[in-house]
Structure 1
Amino acid sequence: MTTSDTLFHEGELMAQRNAGERDIAVRNGATVGRTIIRGALPFVRQQKTAYAASLDPNGQVWASILLGEPGFLAPSDDAAMLSVDLGQVAKLNADPFWENIRHDARIGLLLLELQSRRRLKINGEAHLEGERLEVQVTKSFPICPRYIHRREIVLADAGEATPSSTSSRGNELGPAQLELIADADTFFLASAHATRGADCSHRGGPRGFVRHAGDGVLRIPDYNGNSMFNSFGNFLLNPQAGLTFPDYERRRVLQLAGTVEMMWNQADPQGLTGGTGRFWEFKPSHWIESELPATLQTKFIEFSPFLPSLPEVN
Structure 2
Amino acid sequence: MDATPFHAGEVAVQSRIGVAERMAEVGRRVVRDHMPEQHQRFYEQLPLMLAGSVDPAGRPWATVLVGPPGFVQAPDAWHLTFAATPIPGDPAAAGMTAGSPLGLLGIELHTRRRNRVNGELLAAGPEGLRLRVSQTVGNCPQYIQGREVQWMRDAADTRPRAVERLSQLDGDAAWLIAAADTLFVATHAGAAGADVSHRGGPAGFVMQEDERTLLVPDYSGNRMFMTLGNLQLDGRAGLLFIDFERGDLLTLTGRAEIVWDGPELAALGNAERAWRFHLEEGWWLRDALPLRWRFIDWAPQNG
TM-score by length of 2: 0.92
Q: Specify which of 65, 76, 82 is matched with residue 84 of structure 1.
A: 82
Separation of aligned partners in 1, 2:289 and 2:97: 28
Residue identity (%) = 34
Instruction: Write the deviation string for residues 116-138 of structure 1: whole angstroms up to 9, x where unpaired.
Output: 01111010001215412110000
Instruction: Write the deviation string for residues 65-87 of structure 1: whole angstroms up to 9, x where unpaired.
Output: 2222101110023x110011116
Counterpart mapping for 1:30-49 below 5 A: 30-49=29-48
Separation of aligned partners in 2, 1:150 and 1:211: 22
Counterpart residue number, 2:262: 266
Instruction: Write the deviation string for residues 163-221 of structure 1: whole angstroms up to 9, x where unpaired.
Output: 22511112222222111111100000000011110000000001111011125210111
Q: Which amino acid aligns with 1:248?
A: F
Separation of aligned partners in 1, 2:289 and 2:301: 32
Separation of aligned partners in 1, 2:14 and 2:269: 17
8 Å CA contact retained: 1:245, 1:253: yes
TM-score by length of 1: 0.89
Gaps of 5+ in 2: none
Counterpart residue number, 2:62: 63
Q: Specify which of 120, 127, 139 is matched with residue 131 of structure 1.
A: 127
Instruction: Write the deviation string for residues 3-29 of structure 1: whole angstroms up to 9, x where unpaired.
Output: 45x311110000111122324423441
Q: Specify which of 284, 294, 301 is matched with residue 296 of structure 2.
A: 301
8 Å CA contact retained: 1:149, 1:304: yes
Counterpart mapping for 1:22-33 below 5 A: 22-29=20-27, 30-33=29-32
Compared with structure 1, are the counterparts of its residues 132 and 250 closer, same or farther at alpha carbon in structure 2 (3 Å cutoff)? closer
Counterpart mapping for 1:245-264 below 5 A: 245-264=241-260
2:148 alignment partner, SS class: strand
8 Å CA contact retained: 1:51, 1:66: yes
Counterpart residue number, 1:283: 278
2:117 aligned with 1:122: yes
Compared with structure 1, are the counterparts of its residues 151 and 27 closer, same or farther at alpha carbon in structure 2 (3 Å cutoff)? farther
Gaps of 5+ in 1: 310-314
Separation of aligned partners in 1, 2:289 and 2:75: 33
Compared with structure 1, are the counterparts of its residues 160 and 9 closer, same or farther at alpha carbon in structure 2 (3 Å cutoff)? closer
Compared with structure 1, are the counterparts of its residues 199 and 176 closer, same or farther at alpha carbon in structure 2 (3 Å cutoff)? same
Give RMSD over aligned pairs. 2.1
Separation of aligned partners in 2, 1:62 and 1:113: 21
Q: Structure 1 runs of 4+ off > 6 angstroms? A: none
Q: How many pairs are equivalent?
A: 301
